[in-house]
Every structure is written in C-alpha cells, then in structure tokens.
C-alpha cells in the first residue's frame, strides 16, 4: 500500500491499520465503528457533502522538482557494495601481515578475570589500524599479525574510562584477524565482483549499472511521492470545510495514539518523547493536528469518489483483498486482515484510487 502523504505523520495511520488497531469490526463484516454516540465513522456511509465544499480538483497546477541520481552518491554506493562484499575468500588480503593504516576485519572478545564483559565482543568488525578507535595497545597489538591468526592482547582500560566497572581494569582481548581490506582506491577486480552472487553482475561496468538502477528507482519513487504530495496539497487548499465529525476525528486520534505508543515503546521511550523528537510537538498537540487533518482529507477524497464514481464495491474490495492475501501467502482474507476491518482497507484503497485520479488529471510542471 502507498503511504498517505498529507500531514505531519501520514504513515502513522497506515502502520496502525496494518497492526490491526483501526476501527473494530462490529461483527457484520463492515467494520464500521460508531465512536461517539451512534455516528458512523465509515466514510461510505457519510453524507460527506455536509462537511466539505469541494473546489476545483481537475487540472490542478503543481510544480515539482525533478529528482536525479547524484554522481557522488552513485560512486559511494558502488564503493560500499564492492568493499561491503569483500571476504577472506573473495578479495580480502591474506598474504601479508597487518601494517599501520590497514583496515582489518576482525572478531574479538574481551574478558575481565576470565569473564566476557558487555560491549567487548564483536564479529566482522572493520578497524583501521592507527585510528585510535580502541583503547591503547589494541591496534598496535595487531601489527605484524597475519590474516587468519588469533592473538591474545593483555591490556588495561584507562583510569578515566566511562564505564566504572572497567576503568583501570586489566583485561584480555582475544582477536582474530579475518582479512585485510584492500585499499579503497577505486580499483575493482572483475573476478572479485563475479563472486558477489548478485544477479547479472559479473564485472565493474555491470556493478556500476546495478548501483545506478537502484538509485534511479529510488529517485523515481521520490519524484512520484513529491508529485502526490504537491497534488494533495493543491487539492486540499481548494476545499472548504464545515466542522468534521467528532467520531471520525476520535477514530484517527485513537488509532494514531496506539500506533505511536507502540513505535515509541520499540525505541524505549514514551509517546511524548517520540513525538517531540520526531515532530517537535507533544503527543496531545500532534494527535489533535494529525487527526483533524486526516479526517478532512479523507472526507474530501470520499466526496471526489462520490462525484467521479470511484467508490470501491464490495466485490472489488474482496478481490483486492484476496489478491493481497494470496500474494502474502495467506489462505483466506480473514487471516490476512486479522483484526483490521474491511472498511479500513476499503478507505485505504480508495485513498490510492482517488489520489491517482487527481494526479492523472493534474497539470504537472517539472522544475
């Protein structure tokens, strides 16, 4: 599904819907929630013309910046793909000892009194010798070590080390040098590239094309998103609204709050901290703004759907859901949608359908 583009966090409602925290199903398969009082929040059941007076929505004039592949970003991606796929068996330097300035790929484990301590273990870590990234003696202790060798480094953490449990303590790091990274000088080996296992990529030219295609696809997606945003902004600016249904605003607010709380928890913070960090607003302010904007937006889109015969029938909805369920490996629609109501999906599909209509009928100028 495309993410909604209008508002401060248009993705919130889509994340919430996929998590099954939208309107609860009433048991009849429609999923229409009544919210406050007996007012339905299903857009298809609303007399949306009571709430919105549509302005012009065909031929919207918008100007959008073109999005192109940046040459420096392209070169960086090629380098990252090449050197990120180097291994001991493919491209890594194995025939000489480590020298100052080398970047080595290592596995290490640090122990104090024979017990591994937190934060002292890693696999496949890239370390540049002489960078000063590790405590004194660690990097120097790897000089003259051959790739494939394992050494024990008897070291002492500095007295002013940030972790009081380790400050001034003697430890032993057991380090295996897996390989030495080749110098990142832009010299690529076709033989090495051919062993990366990337479909259709067997040499430098094909690697560069692979990286370009990836960036170009992202650029085109960003352009399409920018077009949708510009068209939606122009559309909404042309409309005027009476008060919107309280039940609908509350539905969006509740769904967004549930989703934000879940996302915040995943980051180990509370919802207020999450919204302050990401949107510069406390949770209550964010929810109030987001819910009202989303309610107005969806009411306006439903009004266009009514006028242009773009509504999604029950049969069309079932077919769309069945197609998605099958593609996702589910046997039934019910298994696919879980606790999410069909009406939430109908409204989400309708959003895409009407937005596509607005974009198709817009006059878009590229900057």
Tell me, yes or no, whether 343 lies in a domain.
yes
Identify the pLDDT of residue 240.
96
- The CATH code of the domain that includes 112 is 3.10.50.40
295 and 334 co-located in one domain: yes
Between residues 196 and 40, the one the model is more confident about: 196
Domain residue limits at 279? 11-60+238-366
Distances (CA, A) of 293 to 12, 259, 314: 13, 17, 27
In angstroms, the CA 51 to CA 83 distance is 57
Average confidence (pLDDT) over 306-329 = 95
In angstroms, the CA 347 to CA 294 distance is 12
Tell me, yes or no, whether 175 lies in a domain.
yes
Structure tokens at 151: 């050494």
283 and 328 co-located in one domain: yes
3 state SS of 184: coil
359 and 263 co-located in one domain: yes
Identify the pLDDT of residue 39.
59
Name the domain boundary from 151, 181, 211.
181
- Percentage of the chain surpassing pLDDT 90? 83
261 and 304 co-located in one domain: yes
Cβ neighbourhood burial of 352 (10 Å; 0-12, 13-18, 19+): middle
Tell me, yes or no, whether 233 lies in a domain.
no
pTM over 0.85: no
296 and 253 co-located in one domain: yes
118 and 177 co-located in one domain: yes
- Percentage of the chain surpassing pLDDT 70? 89
3 state SS of 163: coil
37 and 92 co-located in one domain: no
Counting the structural domains of the chain, the total is 2
121 and 172 co-located in one domain: yes
49 and 104 co-located in one domain: no
Identify the pLDDT of residue 258.
93
In angstroms, the CA 40 to CA 292 distance is 16
256 and 316 co-located in one domain: yes
Tell me, yes or no, whether 345 lies in a domain.
yes
Tell me, yes or no, whether 197 lies in a domain.
no
Contact call for residues 215 and 342 (beta carbons, < 8 A):
no
Identify the pLDDT of residue 340.
86
Tell me, yes or no, whether 200 lies in a domain.
no
Whether the per-residue pLDDT at 34 is higher than 90: the answer is no
Distance of CA 358 to the CA centre of its chain: 26
Whether the per-residue pLDDT at 83 is higher than 90: the answer is yes
Whether the per-residue pLDDT at 293 is higher than 50: the answer is yes
349 pLDDT band (50/70/90 cuts)?
very high
Whether the per-residue pLDDT at 22 is higher than 90: the answer is no
Whether the per-residue pLDDT at 35 is higher than 60: the answer is no
230-260 per-position pLDDT tens digit = 999 999 999 999 989 999 999 999 999 999 9
In angstroms, the CA 181 to CA 10 distance is 43
DSSP character string of 294-332: HHHHHHHHHHHHHHHT-PPPHHHHHHHHHHHHHHTT-SS
Tell me, yes or no, whether 190 lies in a domain.
no
* Mean of pLDDT over the chain: 89
59-69 per-position pLDDT tens digit = 999 999 998 99
Whether the per-residue pLDDT at 18 is higher than 60: the answer is no
Identify the pLDDT of residue 154.
97
180-235 per-position pLDDT tens digit = 999 998 799 999 999 999 999 999 999 999 999 999 999 999 999 999 999 999 99
Identify the pLDDT of residue 330.
95
Identify the pLDDT of residue 341.
87
Identify the pLDDT of residue 343.
87
In angstroms, the CA 1 to CA 238 distance is 26
Identify the pLDDT of residue 243.
86
Whether the per-residue pLDDT at 167 is higher than 60: the answer is yes
Structure tokens at 50: 């009571």
3 state SS of 176: strand
Tell me, yes or no, whether 100 lies in a domain.
yes
Whether the per-residue pLDDT at 74 is higher than 90: the answer is yes
Name the domain boundary from 181, 216, 251.
181
Name the domain boundary from 162, 181, 200.
181
Whether the per-residue pLDDT at 345 is higher than 60: the answer is yes
In angstroms, the CA 142 to CA 112 distance is 20
Residues 6 or more apart whose Cβ sits within 8 Å of residue 253: 287, 288, 290, 291
168 and 260 co-located in one domain: no
Between residues 33 and 323, the one the model is more confident about: 323
Instruction: Give the neighbor-by-neighbor strand order of the sheet with 103-112.
Output: 115-128, 103-112, 170-180, 150-156
52 and 162 co-located in one domain: no
Average confidence (pLDDT) over 159-165 = 92
Cα dihedral sign, 48-52-54-60: negative
Average confidence (pLDDT) over 337-363 = 93
């Amino acid at each position: 599904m495309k993410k909604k583009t209008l508002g401060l966090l248009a993705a919130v409602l889509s994340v919430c819907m996929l998590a099954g925290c939208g309107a609860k199903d009433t048991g009849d398969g429609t999923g229409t929630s009544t919210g406050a009082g007996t007012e339905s929040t299903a857009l298809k059941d609303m007399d949306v013309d009571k709430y919105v007076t549509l302005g012009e929505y065909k031929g919207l004039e918008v100007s959008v910046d073109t999005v192109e592949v940046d040459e420096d970003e392209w070169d960086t991606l090629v380098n990252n793909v090449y050197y990120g796929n180097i291994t001991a068996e493919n491209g890594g330097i194995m025939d000489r000892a480590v020298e100052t300035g080398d970047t080595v790929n290592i596995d290490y484990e640090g122990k104090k009194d024979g017990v591994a301590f937190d934060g002292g273990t890693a696999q496949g870590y890239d370390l540049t010798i002489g960078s000063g990234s590790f405590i004194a003696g660690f990097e120097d202790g790897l000089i003259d070590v051959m790739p494939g060798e394992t050494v024990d480094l008897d070291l002492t953490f500095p007295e002013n080390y940030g972790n009081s449990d380790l400050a001034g303590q003697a430890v032993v790091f057991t380090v295996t040098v897996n390989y030495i990274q080749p110098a990142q000088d832009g010299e690529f080996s076709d033989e090495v590239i051919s062993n990366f296992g990337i479909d259709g990529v067997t040499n430098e030219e094909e690697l560069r094309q692979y990286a370009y295609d990836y960036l170009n696809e992202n650029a085109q997606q960003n352009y399409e998103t920018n077009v949708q945003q510009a068209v939606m902004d122009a559309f909404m600016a042309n409309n005027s609204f009476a008060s919107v249904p309280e039940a609908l605003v509350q539905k969006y607010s509740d769904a967004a709050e549930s989703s934000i709380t879940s996302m915040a928890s995943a980051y180990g913070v509370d919802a207020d901290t999450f919204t302050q960090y990401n949107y510069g607003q406390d949770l209550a302010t964010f929810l109030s703004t987001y819910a009202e904007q989303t309610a107005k937006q969806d009411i306006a889109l439903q009004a266009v759907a009514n006028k242009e015969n773009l509504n999604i029938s029950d049969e069309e909805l079932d077919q769309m859901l069945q197609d998605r369920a099958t593609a996702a490996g589910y046997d039934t629609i019910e298994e696919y949608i879980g606790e999410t109501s069909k009406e939430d999906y109908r409204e989400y599909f309708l959003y895409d359908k009407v937005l596509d209509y607005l974009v198709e009928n817009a006059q878009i100028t590229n900057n």
